Structure 1
Amino acid sequence: MSLRQKLLLVALCTLALPVAGWLYVRQMEGILRQGQEQALTATATAVARSLAVTDVPLPQPGIGWYVQQAVNPITIDGYGDDWAPMTPWSQSLGKHGKLLLAEDDNGFYIYIDVRAPRRTRADAGDPNALSSDHVILDLVQGAQHRRYLIASAAPGAFTALTLDPAAGDLPDRIVGQWQEDGSGYRAELRLAPGLGLSALGVGNYTAVDGGDPLAAEVRALWRYSPDLAQELSRMAPEDTRARLVAPAGWVLAQSGHLTTSGPQPGWFSSVIYRSLLANPLEEAEAWTSDAPRLDLPEIQSARTGQPTTVWRQGEERDSVVLAAAVPVERDRTVVGVLLLEQASRAVPLLANRAFLSLLLTSFGVTLVAGAILLLFATRLSLRLGRLRDAVERAQVNDGRLDGQMIQSHFPMAESDDEIGDLARSFQKLFEAVGGYTDYLRTLASKLSHELNTPLAIVKSSLDNLEHAELSAEAQPYLARARDGVARLGTLVRAMSEASRMERAIVAAEPEDVDLVDVVRGCADAYRPLAGARRLDCVLPQQPLHLHGAPELIAQALDKLFDNALSFTPADGWLRLSLRPVDDGAEIELANQGSPLPAAMQGRLFDSLVSLRDKATPGDAPHLGLGLYVVRLVAERHGGIASARNLEDGSGVAFSLRLRGMPRQRLAG
């Protein structure tokens, strides 16, 4: 990972600021919501207590039958088409039955649907009617009640059989319609309006299941009360919707409407609120206002005596509704649940404003910090890149140091920061290493000069010993000493020759030369020396001109050929080639032979380095100065000398890349 990428990663850490702000705003919204919940719960509790101490007709404890308001006129035909809008809120009757109750100005309607695939049929007047499938209807009017037997042997009209004597103004005769199919039967009937029923008992008997044929479940009748709704509207606060429900969830009274005040938030604020800020909201469908029954967890919790609050989606866009459900108690018994709902945009707007302000501020700070860090990283990377380039330029390919580069001004050496200290340290290091390298390069000439005098003393001493009478045992030692002195003299002369060659290479005069002629002439001269070895010469078709010293180039090729010939087998091959390159020319001499050791490839062109076998006693030593001369010639022509193993592993290739010697300017 680059330095800029690392600093950019550090800049991304500033994103912790908007994240912390987001968490803070969410916490603030939670606190505001909690305050609203407490306030609405206190209001709902006060209203519930007021209802409990007034004379309003609250439902009695226990369960009851709910009577819905007829949505449309009901025709007594035994079919449930007229009951379709009210069917979702049908009430269970026994194991296999459902009951629907409704009323309007024309009467009180009862619809009974019983699922009984196996039927036992009989009319109500038959002696065995109680042992067949039938319905028991018990009408309760205060302290009086009267039971009726409803049964039919076939679809059509039926007349209920009274089971009890006359009681009050309860009807003596009830008629209705009976319909059945393969799944069971349905009974529909209408009672006269104004009976003032306080309770209703209904029971369905199926001969297959058995049981008490006269059993009927008597429950109080619950219905929507306009008087209770008026009292509720008087107690409930404005801009709220209040609903009083029975413990089972049936709506007994309702007042008020949800009104949302405040400005309409924009779409961007709405998206931010819903995706980043809003805590989970309940769906609004379960709280629809026209449902006669609300089967909600909040009501189930409130009827156990525990007040509950819930946030849900509002009916208007981007609004929220807070609902509080509190129990209504009489004599420490829960007789109902009060739902108080309040719509609002205040919390979303407040949170949006705070969050948007924090978001914009933190985002701006993040951008500025990121831009500053990116600029700093870019500048730091550029400075380090300049320092790296200077270090790379100071080192030549063969490992030596460029003296001119070191003596010139090192980049950023005058800076006062840590990079300036590093640049000055590099400059001092390169100056020390360069001085030591120059010392090593001139060591050969110094040694050759210093060794001449003691070598002459040793040689003259050996000459004097030859004239002295020596024993036969001493003669071999004298011969060995003379051989060592001769070899040492050869070494000193070679070192002197290398020093003179360096001076000669530096003093060589350049001229415009065609390298094709130079390389061709060298190849023609090498063929007789190659013997049985094959020598191929690959030259370009066009002349290749270069400003340089042809005698130095030829001398370098002589050294390369001598080196290649010594490592090429007697039946091997050599290949001398010349090709143009972008900034000059490249001469390559490849030969068959063993590959170069990896550890020696960077040292082949140094002085006194050789891969040839050590000389045997009496032979002249090989000093490894040939490739060193090749490197000097290449550098004199602004190029480099290199060696590599061939890709197929068959041999080695030495190359000279030449750019040309600088042209001298004539004095005007």
Structure 2
Amino acid sequence: MKLRRQLALVSLVALILPWAALQSLQVFDALLRESQVASLTATARAVAARLGADADLLERSELAAQPAAAENRELYAHPLPAPPILDGAGDEWRTFGAEPLSFSDGDTLSMAFLAGFAADKLYLFISVTDPERRFHNPASGQLASGDHLLIHSERPGLGGRYYVIRTELPGTIEAVYRDLSGAEHPDYRIQGSWRESKGGYQLELRMPAEFAKGHFAVSAVSKGADDLAHVGTIGELATLAGGEDPGVLPSAEGRLVSLSEALNEALTIFTAEDTRLSLIDRHGWLRAQTGELTPEAPRSGATTALGYLLPRPHHPQWQNANTGHWDPKDVGPSSAGEASERWFSDRGDNIAAVAVPVYVGWPDAGAVESQRAGSVVIEKRLAPWRMLDNQAALELLTFTLGGGLLLLALLIGYASWLSLRIRKLSRAAELAASERQAPDKALASWPRYRLEDEVAELSEHYRQLLEQVRAHTHYLKTLTGKLSHELRTPLAVVRSSLDNLLAAPASESGRYAERAREGCERLSALVSAMTEASRVEASIASADIEEVDLKQLINDIRAAYADAYPSHSFIARIESPGSGRYRARVSPELLVQMLDKLVDNAVSYSPVDKPITLGLNRSSAGDELPYFQLSVANEGPPLPEQLEGQLFNSLTSARETSSGQLHLGLGLYIVDLIARFHGGAAGARNESGAGVLFWVDLPDKPREIRATKPT
């Protein structure tokens, strides 16, 4: 994988900032939801305490005692905004928003029941599914010889009565009942209409509201040719009331549940905006309700986008309880005074529902299950990411996301720029390594960077390496010419001397023999120098290291050089070591041999009337360790500029000695080998006044790794 792609992938770490911002929003949203639920719970507890402390209110609303009927024998009546028209069509009921209660015998007979109060009247809309329908035959002697509806009403102080709703043809219904003697009587207070429907029939009835103050039950009865079926809340008694006189029938246990105006007034003082407060009894019937769950305002673009980035957890669909009955699975009854919490989804919003139990006489009587009158349910619609409606939160999200994207763009841009620099250096190195571009041209086009970083240092190091390769290549190209020149001259001298010796008279033979001997000595010196260089390379590996006083060594060899070269004067210039000393662990034999080469080189180029200076000082450069510097200076001809970088190579010289001979340069090559062995370095430069200075830097402490220069 390319470096650019690697850096681009690493730059993706900048996405942590937007991710952290989104996670923070999730935390803020969770805290907001928790605070909302805590507020709803506190309100629900206050309402439950208020209702529980008013035992008379609960008694009047029939919540203080156990329900008189079982849950499957109860019906519900909604408050109607207007009286419906008694035409059997039921069109007005659809606009009321109420949903019917359903009953079925598990076979073919079923009944949908709707009830409501309006203007002190009780209205019923009943839809019955019965594939095989039969109408009433007046000559049968029964209250209803065909399909009919049976209503049981027991008013306080008046006893119970079974009403049969029948018809001979679709249209107006008849409501009849039997008195205690078994006589049949009509009741014109019950009015309504019968209409045929697809697969059954529909009934729409009206009666006084006091019919539902006590026990109230309804069943649909289907009379076939051979069987009798019923469905509803009356039970098995429904098959007897519509036939021949069965005598006195016991009361049905059903009842009609509805909203309580007194409970509604008690809840009104707790009503808040966009909040719905409900009271349900033990069987889950709605007994009081105030407030509305109004839809939230349209979402902003940021909220919608955030909904896609961070999808909300799945919640069950919210049901509006239009039947008047709450499913215990939705808001389960709480126990021991604890609140229960549920979340629902509705048209993209969340609805929080908190239920708190209501106990009669609570908190004085305590949370006794037998005293539980019902539950207070408080609901509130909460749009996801509602905190984004706050300008500060929206700005925080915008700045965090924008900062993350900007940082990502900067990192990718920096990665591309760095990759471009490295690719440029790589192309330059590739061209320099190929044969298509000369070293001089490669150096001229070598990339240079203004920014002093690691890439710039790497480029500079490669450029220096390329310069050394160029110098070494030039040296190798000229080595053959140098050797040819050095060997050709003495060979020519020897050949010409031998030829003249053969042809010359005896009186001149000595002169030619002397010239031949000088040529042989020059060849021998050349071979000896090259052999010495090879021998030094081999002997370095076995050299012994010991501690030597460099100051004493310089003083001793100065005197030795003065005796060996009486035509030249030698000066020892030793600086004060300061707080240090001039003792180093070196190989004394190699060190003396190195100084011999430097002194021999200085003697070769220095005029006889100019002194040769041997120097010693202690110094340090930057953060490097202290080192000793040995130097030899003479006032001979300056170093040529073309020898820069290759002066210490083998057979490198372009200066003639004071005697006019060409110097081979093998001595400086040996100096460099010995300096590298001790972990140091050798160098040379032209002095500003006149002359040349050669120096060798030796570390104060010996290095563990000492590299030798390859031949």
**TM-score scaled by structure 1?**
0.54
Offset of 1:23 from its aligned partner? 0.7
Task: Verify: 1:418 aligned to 2:451, yes or no.
Answer: no
Q: Secondary structure of the equivalent of 1:146?
A: strand
Matched, 1:186 2:202: yes
Distance in 1 separating the partners of 2:169 and 2:431: 113
1:68 to 64, 73, 78: 78
Q: 1:214 aligns with which of 240, 247, 252?
A: 240
Counterpart residue identity of residue 10, structure 1? V
What is the rounded CA distance, in whole Å, between the counterparts of 1:327 and 1:357 in structure 2?
A: 42
User: Aligned ranges for residues 114-133 of structure 1 at < 5 Å?
Assistant: 114-123=128-137, 126-127=140-141, 132-133=146-147
Give distance in 2, aligned partners of 1:82 and 1:364. 56
The Cα of 1:397 is off from its aligned counterpart by 2.8
- 1:267 maps onto 2:308 in alignment: no
Does the C-alpha gap of structure 1 residues 184 and 47 become closer, same or farther in structure 2, counting only changes over 3 Å? Answer: same
CA, structure 1 residues 274+139, in 2 after alignment: closer, same or farther (shift >3 Å)?
same
Residue type of the partner of 1:32? L
Amino acid at match of 1:430: L
The 3 A distance-change label for structure 1 pair 8 and 47 is same
Q: Contact between 2:331 and 2:354, CA under 8 Å: does it hold in 1?
A: no
Choose which of 293, 298, 302 in structure 1 pairs with 2:333. 302
Give the Cα separation in 1 of the matches to 2:36 and 2:479.
94
- Find the counterpart in structure 1 of residue 112 from structure 2: 98
Q: Per-residue deviation at 1:27? A: 1.2
Compared CA separation, residues 328 and 85, structure 1 to 2 (3 A): farther
**1:369: Cα distance to partner?**
4.0
Q: Indicate the residue corresponding to 1:402 in structure 2.
A: 438
Q: Assess, with a 3 A threshold, how the Cα gap between structure 1 residues 297 and 358 changes in structure 2: closer, same or farther.
A: farther
Which of residues 245, 257, 265 is equivalent to 1:230? 265
Deviation for aligned residue 1:229 = 0.8
The offset of 1:325, in angstroms, is: 2.8
Deviation at 1:438, TM superposition (A): 4.3
Q: Quick one: which of 257, 274, 293 aligns to 2:324? A: 293
Distance change in 2, residues 1:287/1:404 (3 Å): same
Q: Secondary structure of the residue that 1:301 maps to in structure 2?
A: coil
Q: Aligned runs of 1:467-482 on 2, under 5 Å? A: none
Unaligned stretches of 5+ residues in structure 1: 458-668
Structure 2 partner of 1:163: 178
What letter corresponds to residue 176 of structure 2 in structure 1?
L
Q: Match of 1:73, as an amino acid?
A: P
Answer yes or no: is the 8 Å Cα contact 2:339–2:354 preserved in 1.
yes
Out of 146-155 and 248-257, give the one that drifted further.
Answer: 248-257
Tell me if structure 1 keeps the 8 A contact 2:153–2:212. no
Amino acid at match of 1:100: L
Amino acid at match of 2:83: P
Shift of 1:90: 1.8
CA distance in 2: counterparts of 1:272 and 1:356, whole angstroms: 13
In the TM superposition, what is the alpha-carbon distance from 1:145 to its structure 2 partner? Answer: 0.6
User: Secondary structure of the equivalent of 2:377?
Assistant: strand
Match of 1:36 in 2: 36
Amino acid at match of 1:328: V
Tell me the residue number matched to 2:20.
20
Q: Pick one of 379, 389, 397 that aligns with 1:341.
A: 379
How far off its partner does 1:356 sit?
3.4
Find the aligned partners of 1:332 and 1:103 in 2 and give their Cα distance: 32
CA distance in 2, matches of 1:201, 1:148: 10
TM-aligned CA deviation for residue 51 of structure 1: 1.7
Whole-Å Cα distance in 2 between the matches of residues 186 and 259 of structure 1?
34
SS at 1:23 equivalent: helix
CA contact (8 A) 2:83 2:119 kept: no
Q: CA deviation at 1:138?
A: 1.1
CA distance in 1, matches of 2:445, 2:200: 108
Partner SS, residue 12 of structure 2: helix
Per-residue CA distance 1:409-454 (angstroms, 9 max, x = gap): 9654998643344334434543454455446555776788869999
How far is 1:158 from its partner? 4.2
1:404 maps to amino acid: D
Give the equivalent residue in structure 2 for 1:10: 10
Amino acid at match of 1:44: A
Aligned to 1:197: 213
User: Partners in 2 of 1:179 and 1:265 — Cα distance?
Assistant: 44
Offset at 1:97? 1.6
Q: Equivalents in 1 of 2:334, 2:29: separation in Å? A: 29
1:151 aligns with 2:162: no
1:326 to 2:356 alignment: yes
Trace 1:249-648 onto structure 2 (pairs within 5 A). 250-256=285-291, 267-268=300-301, 270-271=303-304, 274-275=307-308, 279=312, 286-287=319-320, 291=322, 293=324, 299-302=330-333, 307-310=339-342, 322-330=352-360, 332=369, 335-342=373-380, 348-349=386-387, 352-353=390-391, 355-363=393-401, 365-366=403-404, 369-370=407-408, 373=411, 376-377=414-415, 380-381=418-419, 383-395=421-433, 397=435, 402-405=438-441, 411-412=447-448, 417-438=453-474, 441=477
Q: 1:48 to 1:182 in 2, by over 3 A?
A: same
- Look up the SS of the partner of 2:131 in the other structure: coil
Give the 3 Å change call, closer, same or farther, for CA 68–406 of structure 1 in structure 2: closer
The structural deviation recorded for 1:220 is: 1.6
The answer to whether the 8 A contact 2:29-2:387 is kept is no
Deviation at 1:115, TM superposition (A): 1.5
Given the superposition, is the C-alpha separation of residues 421 and 175 from structure 1 closer, same or farther in structure 2, using an over 3 Å criterion? closer
Contact 1:123 1:151 in 2 (8 A): no
Taking the aligned partners of 1:9 and 1:392, their CA distance within structure 2 comes to: 27
Q: Deviation per CA, 1:324-369: give whole Å up to 9, x if none.
A: 2334345625544422235679982378556434434434544564
Shift of 1:175: 5.6
Q: CA separation of 1:176/1:82 partners in 2, compared to 1, >3 Å: closer, same or farther?
A: same
1:13-63 Cα shifts (integer Å, max 9, x gaps)? 122022113212311321232132123113203312432342221445343
CA contact (8 A) 1:25 1:351 kept: no
1:134 aligns with 2:148: yes
User: 1:298-348 CA deviation, whole Å, 9 max, x = no partner?
Assistant: 744237887443566899xx9976442334345625544422235679982
- 1:97 is paired with a residue of what secondary structure? strand
Does the Cα contact within 8 Å between 2:116 and 2:122 map onto a contact in 1? yes
Q: Quick one: structure 1 residues 214 and 269, their matched pair in 2 at CA, closer, same or farther if it must change by over 3 Å?
A: same
CA distance in 1 between partners of 2:412 and 2:220 (Å): 83
Describe the SS at the equivalent of 1:136.
strand
Paired amino acid for 1:206:
S
CA deviation profile, 1:197-244 (whole Å, cap 9, x unmatched): 322122222234535413796422112222221122245568743222
Percent of residue pairs identical: 29
Post-superposition Cα deviations, 1:503-560, rounded to whole Å, max 9, x if no partner, equal xxxxxxxxxxxxxxxxxxxxxxxxxxxxxxxxxxxxxxxxxxxxxxxxxxxxxxxxxx
Give the CA deviation at 1:391.
Answer: 3.0
- Whether 1:109 and 2:123 are equivalent positions in the alignment is yes
Per-residue deviation, 1:10: 2.9
Distance 1:251 1:426, change over 3 A: same
Query: How many residues get paired?
Result: 448
